[in-house]
Chains A and B, each alone.
Chain A
């Protein structure tokens, strides 16, 4: 088992008027190489689930096990050794005032001890040059440019590359194409598939696009009000239609789940 969530619960602002039960007992098991797409309405707990895995907030109860290691009590920066993360906001995954190669160098050291060695070696630069070529964005010729000069799509592509530079046990993608224009988003999604396949990455990807959710990955889960309400894999998943998923949503939410964003996408 590469990732295991055991009855993970989380309530925000407990005991106040803003109390929000975000996760009401999540059980999830991922085999090595699983690529799970996660769908669900706003407030279903998708992002919270990813943030709990990454350790952004502590769990109220339950356990999180990554590749056999119980990380439930580890702070986020320690868990980072096992995880690659890409956020929805393209600005969040990279340091704008630092060079492209400096950003890559930090990603290259994810989960490793940092010392007083020079921050980037000559050999690394060659590796980065080769890796950046894969993006086909010409970034390999601009390695000393500041990341702040790149477009949102370029930054997101770079973040994706950084998240996978050191093979992560689990790759967490939180609607990482939602803030991009459709064309750029599609490109980043292609890159995602390419990287996941090439490195056999165990991946958890939140998306609002149901077609993408069906098309990508070998398994799909649907969340609603802090629970996983639908979990489908293999052949059955391949045969899914958007209409099937909409039906499931309506069933779960008592027919009032006519979220425009969902239908349009």
Chain B
């Protein structure tokens, strides 16, 4: 069993890194903007769908990824407009976009599953450059490069004037308005960036797996939250923005390792992974609350 666990580790780590970019997107909405955005499940699949169709049409795989990211931004902007212009509650706005995206993703691909046959993905290209390296290690390489680029870009962006305003909007809307900030625009903007990252992750996962699937994003939001929660448990000491972002990635990797280990033990079947994920997140969210409640309980007088 141990050998099985060890051999499954590189794959788990690579998946954790690639899905970690999605977790960063969720971090922007859930933690920075204080919005639970359910667009994610749809925009993740959109990223994959757009990327697959572009690559198959002969487009450069890197350019395809960027285009997929753009599509994700548009999806996020739609949720943003539903939420800020029409005052639809954020959760419902996200669900509406997510539902609509399912049909759109089918339209983009023309079918529910698109294999990337006879085309060269980013991962194939690197594999040709570094022959002898296993596919998981290739995925880890590309994932690390992508994560570093994204983290640096986000670190810069959230330090700028606009970035600060988005952070403040999630923190105290009344204050931002009083200081002349357009909080509606900031929320829509944040949602667009977040879903752009989610789609980027979807595109990379699509290329690493060699296919795009319309259901690939199912439960993505839960995995994103799991990554954030696990990251917070492990690296909660870090208050700096950079540390927070790294903790989401680390959380995503640990989450994948946990799933891989649990699968190897044989207690959990493949079809039960979603239930397991949901329970994992529910427990991880509930434990701090219960601990806090227990701590605040008034002591009984003797």
- Bound-state CA distance A95–B166 (Å) is 11
Does A116 lie within 8 Å of B161, measured CB to CB?
yes
Complex: how many Å from CA A71 to CA B297? 52
Known: A94-B175, A95-B175. A106 touches B168 (CB 8 A): yes
A111 touches B180 (CB 8 A): yes
Instruction: Tell me if A96 and B183 are in contact (CB < 8 A).
Output: no
A178 at the interface (CB under 8 A from B): no
Q: Is B162 in the interface zone, CB < 8 Å from A? A: yes
Size category, B interface: 20 to 34
Given contact pairs A116-B160, A117-B161, A95 touches B180 in the complex (Cβ within 8 A):
no
B167 at interface (Cβ–Cβ under 8 A)?
yes
User: What interface size band does chain A fall in?
Assistant: 20 to 34
- Contact check, A119 vs B172: say whether CB atoms are below 8 A apart: no
Asked whether B164 lies within 8 Å of A105 as measured between CB atoms, the reply is yes
A109-B179, A114-B181 known; A119+B161 contact, CB < 8 A: yes
- Chain B at the A interface: mostly helix, strand, loop or mixed? helix
CB of A80 within 8 A of CB of B161, answer no
For window 35-82 of A, CB contacts with B under 8 Å fall at: 54, 76-78, 80-81
Whether the Cβ atoms of A97 and B180 lie closer than 8 Å is: no
Q: Which residues on A sit within 8 Å (CB–CB) of B161?
A: 109, 114-119
Interface residue B174 (Cβ < 8 Å from any Cβ of A): yes
Q: Tell yes or no: B213 within 8 A of A by CB.
A: no
* Interface residue? B41 (CB, 8 A): no
Residues in chain B near residue A96, CB distance under 8 A: 171-172
Measured CB to CB, the nearest residue on chain B to A116 is B160
B238 within 8 A of A: no
Interface pair B180/A112, CB less than 8 Å apart: yes
**Min distance, Cβ A78 to any Cβ of chain B, angstroms:** 7
> Given that A77-B180, A77-B182 are known contacts, is A95 also in contact with B172, CB under 8 Å in the complex?
yes
Is A78 touching B180 in the complex (CB atoms < 8 A)? yes
The B-contacting residues of A in range 150-165, CB under 8 angstroms, are 162
Q: Return the contact of B167 from the options A54, A98, A112 (Cβ within 8 A).
A: A98
| Interface bits B138-175 vs A (CB < 8 Å: 1, else 0) | 00000000000000000001011111110110011011
B1 within 8 A of A: no
CB nearest to B178 among chain A residues = A85
Task: Name which of B160, B175, B178 has the most chain A CB atoms within 10 A of its CB.
Answer: B178
Select the residue from B159, B172, B176 with max chain A CB neighbours within 10 A.
B172
A92, A102, A118, A119: residue with the most chain B Cβ atoms closer than 10 Å: A119
Chain A nearest CB from B273 CB (Å) reads 34
A98 to B163, CA, bound (A): 12
> A118 touching B171 by the CB < 8 A rule?
no
One digit per residue, 1 when the CB lies within 8 angstroms of any chain B CB and 0 when it does not, for chain A 83-99 equals: 10101000111111110
List chain A positions with a Cβ less than 8 A from chain B: 54, 76-78, 80-81, 83, 85, 87, 91-98, 102, 105-107, 109-112, 114-120, 146, 162
